[in-house]
Amino acid sequence: MRPVFKIIIIYEVVFFVFWNILYYSNTDIENWFEAEILTVIYTILSSMALGFVFVYVVFITAKLTGMLNKIKNIKDPRKNF
């Protein structure tokens, strides 16, 4: 699997968990979900887009600065050589 797809899957899972925690931890937000569903959809999608842009900018910055190569060269401590 390509690294970009892994990032997207992790990103989606994080935001799914975030919205579930937000939804079930606050009773007022449940009423807001029912009353203004279009606003809810816009808020969820826009926050997901913002999160994706943030993760992608961090990834591209790490790639351009050479940090990804340094991270890839670190030995795996779980393997005995």
Note the pTM of the prediction, 2 decimals.
0.47
**How sure is the predictor about 51, in pLDDT bands with cuts at 50, 70 and 90?**
confident
Residue reference for tokens 């931890």 = 25
The per-residue DSSP string of 43-64 comes to HHHHHHHHHHHHHHHHHHHHHH
Map out the domains of the chain as residue ranges.
3-72
pLDDT exceeds cutoff 80 at 47 = yes
Return the half-sphere exposure (C-beta side, CA atoms, 13 A cut-off) of residue 5: 2
pLDDT exceeds cutoff 70 at 29 = no
Nearest-angstrom CA–CA distance, 81 and 41: 51
Q: What is the pLDDT of residues 59-69, one digit of tens each?
A: 888 888 888 88
Q: What is the pLDDT of residues 66-80, one digit of tens each?
A: 888 888 888 877 777
